[in-house]
Structure 1
Amino acid sequence: MSDSIAPSLTPQPSQYQLFCPNLPLAVYREIVAHLRQVMGVEAGLLPQRSQKFDYLQSQVGGVWIRYATDADAGSRRRVEQILAYYGDRYGDWETVMEKADRGMKDKGNS
């Protein structure tokens, strides 16, 4: 994360998907609730992709985050702060790699 005041010349992603292994469902819901309070940010839960139940795995596939066109640098910083807070407590975030034909939809799990 850069503290530079100059705007970045590389475009920032407008949406992405993350997961944190072993993060409980309740914490994912808490994270989504926090992210939705940030101006210009939408967030939701991804469905679990595994067909086998594993008690040590989360019951969701992760979280999706989408920035509106009016989201400013402050909103992006706030999202980074929220994710860092939970990452420090539960482990590193990983990017979810999905097929291009799958949309990022909240299946009503939030």
Structure 2
Amino acid sequence: MAQVIKKKREQISYAGLPLAVYREVAAHLRQVEGVETGLIPQQVEQFDYKQSQVSGLWIEYADNLDAHKKGHLQDILDYYAGIYGTWRREQIEA
């Protein structure tokens, strides 16, 4: 019988952050083994140049991801928070 691995999924967002920065953050997070990530499309009716083209990014990883990898993930997010400000981070359905 195959072992079921429980996954954790979070949404990370920062108001007004450009698409290029979200892509850069996602690329860095993907370097952590066991972490998957992707962009969440913007859900607005009308295009606005002052808004980001995405509403955030999702991060998914095993609930039992080891502490070193979780620390690396947090270090990456902290690095960008130091530049752009505090992230809005919330748990979402996996």
TM-score bracket relative to the smaller structure = 0.7 to 0.9
Aligned to 2:10: 16
Question: Corresponding residue for 1:52?
Answer: 46
Number of the residue aligned with 1:65? 59
The answer to whether 1:92 aligns with 2:89 is: no
TM-score, structure 2 as length reference: 0.81
Which of the pair is proportionally richer in helix? 2
Alignment equivalent of 1:76, drawn from 70, 78, 87 = 70
Unaligned 5+ residue runs, structure 2?
1-6
Q: Is the 8 A contact 2:9 2:91 kept in 1?
A: no
Counterpart of 1:5 in structure 2 is none
1:17 partner SS: strand
Distance in 1 separating the partners of 2:44 and 2:85: 20
Alignment correspondent of 2:3: none
In 2, Cα distance between the equivalents of 1:97 and 1:53?
27
- Are residues 78 and 97 of structure 1, via their aligned partners in 2, closer, same or farther at CA, if it must alter by over 3 Å? closer
The aligned length equals 88
Report the Cα offset of residue 89 of structure 1.
0.8
Deviations 1:23-68 (A, max 9, x none): 1101100111110010111111111122222222111010100112
Q: CA RMSD in A?
A: 2.1
Distance 1:76 1:67 in 2: 9
Q: Larger % of strand: which?
A: 2
